[in-house]
Amino acid sequence: MPAVLNFPDVSPVLFEISIGAFHFALHWYALAYIAGIIVGWWLVTRALAAARLWPRDTAPMSRETVDDLLTWLILGVIVGGRLGYVLFYKPSYYLANMIEIPMIWQGGMSFHGGFLGVVVAAFIYAGRHNIDRLSLADTLAMATPVGLMLGRMANFVNAELWGRPSTAPWAVIFPGDEAQACENVGTLCARHPSQLYEAGLEGLILGSLILLLVWRFEAFKRRGLIAGLFFAGYGLSRFVVEFFRQADAQFITPENPMGTVVLHMSMGQLLSLPMIGFGLLLMVRARRA
């Protein structure tokens, strides 16, 4: 058997409380969302307090506006993430079972859908409150990578969204029948920890680069540059990681074991291409402005 890593003995539930019929469980995934929102909010408020970072040394909105905007963004993530999963990944199933579309507690969220939901919510909010849309996009782009990193780490703890089978020394033996359903593997099946690849690329590396450009080089003064870097950086990171990530089960067939959808690309890669293109356009525009 090749030298691989066993999945760590960690529960997806941080703690549980039961009092009579009342039961409460805090999952690592929920904690990742909460922590990501809190840290993102803190980063935004710190940046808004530093007038030197912004065009004409003027922040695009107030601290009170951020608190109000947060509610819109949370709704955008939930609604967009769910509708994205329904439309991109299982349209035929939910067309036949439309009553299940709002049942988000059953699982099924799409990052690309959540991203579109945030874009729509921020666009509407900026128009209603006369906020510069490019500066708002830059602000949100700075705050997002930390949430992505924590979310992907929670995916790893939950032993979900794992990668393709691998014999690399850092490959992980994930628990569960689906994770162990590998062809031509006589022993335990190890897989790429693709969740950690994503946490490192689209979270730690991309987020660190954005913070460096914002605080050291005052990149917010070039409106749209940070938003473009985030779009292109996330899209490229996701496109690369998809080569190591297990395709979604609904796309895998005996004739298509790699689960590709168009031009030998996975659904994640296909949805990442517009993000890369749009991000590059924003960066070029910011540089010319």
Residue 158 and residue 29 in contact, taking contact as beta carbons nearer than 8 Å: yes
Q: Which helix (H) or strand (E) holds 247?
A: none
**Range with the poorest average pLDDT among 14-23, 128-137, 192-201, 254-263:** 14-23
| Confidence band, pLDDT 50/70/90 cuts, at residue 2 | low
Q: What is the mean pLDDT of residues 104-133?
A: 85
Give 185-211 as a DSSP string.
-SSPPPB--HHHHHIIIIIIIHHHHHH
Q: What's residue 63's pLDDT?
A: 83
Q: How far apart are the first and last CA of the chain?
A: 57
Query: In 3D, which of 143, 131, 136, 115 has the Cα closest to residue 38?
Result: 143
Q: Residue 269 above 90 pLDDT?
A: yes
| Confidence band, pLDDT 50/70/90 cuts, at residue 88 | confident
Q: What is the mean pLDDT of residues 96-112?
A: 79
Residue 204 and residue 149 in contact, taking contact as beta carbons nearer than 8 Å: yes
| Confidence band, pLDDT 50/70/90 cuts, at residue 289 | confident
Question: Residues 153-178: pLDDT tens digits?
Answer: 999 999 988 999 998 999 999 999 99
Q: Which helix (H) or strand (E) holds 239?
A: helix 225-241
Average pLDDT, the chain: 90
| Confidence band, pLDDT 50/70/90 cuts, at residue 105 | low
Q: What's residue 89's pLDDT?
A: 83
Q: Residue 242 above 70 pLDDT?
A: yes
DSSP designation for 244:
T
Q: What is the mean pLDDT of residues 131-147?
A: 95
**Range with the poorest average pLDDT among 108-112, 127-131, 188-192, 238-242:** 108-112
| Confidence band, pLDDT 50/70/90 cuts, at residue 187 | confident
Q: What's residue 90's pLDDT?
A: 84
Contacts for 127-136: CB closer than 8 Å, 24+ residues apart: 129/61, 129/65, 131/60, 131/61, 131/65, 132/60, 132/223, 134/223, 134/224, 134/227, 135/54, 135/55, 135/60, 135/220, 135/223, 136/60, 136/61
Q: What is the mean pLDDT of residues 4-25?
A: 82
Cβ-in-10-Å burial (0-12, 13-18, 19+) of 56 comes to exposed
Residue 24 and residue 210 in contact, taking contact as beta carbons nearer than 8 Å: no
| Confidence band, pLDDT 50/70/90 cuts, at residue 3 | low
Q: Residue 51 above 60 pLDDT?
A: yes
